[in-house]
Amino acid sequence: METGTLINILFILLVVWFAYTRLRPAPGLKTLREEQFRNKMQSSSDPVLIDVREMGEYRRGHIPGAKNIPLSQLQGRIGEIPQDKDLLLYCQSGMRSKNAARILGKNGYSKLFHLAGGISAWRGKITK
């Protein structure tokens, strides 16, 4: 096999691996549609609702009762989050909340749920 072909194959494998590691769901994370997310908020005993968007986004409107812990600050504020409660995560579109779930999962959290489509999919009340 030629060296150029081998390099191309290795490059493609590297791109596929990179995409997979970025897009795969976090272990233990359950993705919930808007109605399921709302039901989980109501049925769970004392859930913790976390908005992982930045403060400016949070101030423009958030789900009532949500605590703002931006993804960019999550690692430094992880001590504020109880490990024994259901954690309901959301962001604008669902990508940052998946990343937040990966971070939380690596730190021993297991009761992780996130809103598919983020707050953009939310049809309920928004608090400003």
Active-site annotation, residues: 91
Write out 59-85 in H/E/C secondary structure: HHCECCCCEECCHHHHHHHHHHCCCCC
Q: Which distant-in-sequence residues (6+ apart) come within 8 Å of 115 by Cβ?
A: 32, 34, 37, 88, 89, 90, 94, 97, 121, 122
